[in-house]
A = this chain, B = another copy of it.
Amino acid sequence: MKVNRVQELWKNQQAAIGGWLTIANSFPAEIMAHQGWDVLTIDMQHGLVNASELVPMLTAISTTDVTPFVRVPWLDPGIIMKVLDSGSYGVICPMINTREDAERLVSYCRYAPQGTRSFGPRRAVLYAGEDYAQHANETILTFAMIETQKALDNLDEIVTVEGLDAVFVGPSDLGLSLGYTPGNYEEPVLLEAIESILKKAHSQGIRAGIYSYTAKFARRMIELGFDYVVISSDARLMVSQAQQVLEEIRIK
């Protein structure tokens, strides 16, 4: 089975740098796969990507050696198993708030006896190889999004769930849940929460990832110890550069 390069990076003490795909089309996905990201995550939650566009986008990423992850819309076994059958090497699941949530997530991502994933990796075998069934349980990464006060309250119970590979911080939702405006990442209480999540994850030997809007914040998070940082998204990159170009042309 094709190795999960994020696992390799982690073995070498390196953080994985991730891009984020919100446009439902294989062409921008293939372009992004040529830019130098370690990981590309297809965002089926807030991104405008649905099941019908998932496979062409995963296929586009598979023309390179970038590792494909998917953020699923919700903790739903139907879509999580579809994402895995389609060849994703990581599942980022939003709103994991309790131990039971985390256990369900792991269970949906693992074949028996570790879990309850149903067998039928139609496209995954094309991407990963014919021995997929033998190695999928150890190769596919599971990320529990920690993004509410409730999840913070239950964090000890979440990070100790057998088979969970990592937590992933959604700073906008976490900030919102703590009472701040989404997008503001500099609130001390929020930063403190982020740091405590990282520590709890590491203390249990699991990894921690985080979403960020800027390279600067992402670097800070790597320096803090995060194992996986996401910077911006396809759409946001386009908007930033469009703003820059239009300012340059419009301003006298």
Binding site for B on A (CB under 8 A): 17, 19, 22-28, 30-32, 34-37, 45-48, 50-53, 55-56, 59-60, 62-63, 72-74, 76-79, 81-82, 85-86, 94-95, 111-113, 116, 118-123, 126-127, 133, 147-148, 170, 172-173, 176-177, 179, 181-183, 214-216, 218-219, 222, 229, 231-232, 234-235, 237-246, 248-250
Known: A32-B242, A48-B86, A51-B51. 20 other contacts (CB 8 A): A24-B27, A25-B25, A26-B26, A27-B55, A30-B59, A31-B239, A35-B246, A48-B123, A50-B50, A62-B63, A73-B79, A74-B78, A77-B95, A78-B79, A95-B116, A119-B172, A119-B182, A215-B246, A216-B248, A222-B249
Copies of this subunit: 6
What is the bound-complex CA distance between A86 and B30, given in angstroms?
12
Alpha-carbon distance A87/B198, docked complex (angstroms)? 34
Smallest CB separation, A108 vs chain B (Å):
10
Chain B residue nearest in CB terms to A233:
B122
Residue in B closest to A248 when the chains form the complex, CB atoms: B215
**Cα–Cα, bound, A51→B49 (Å):** 9
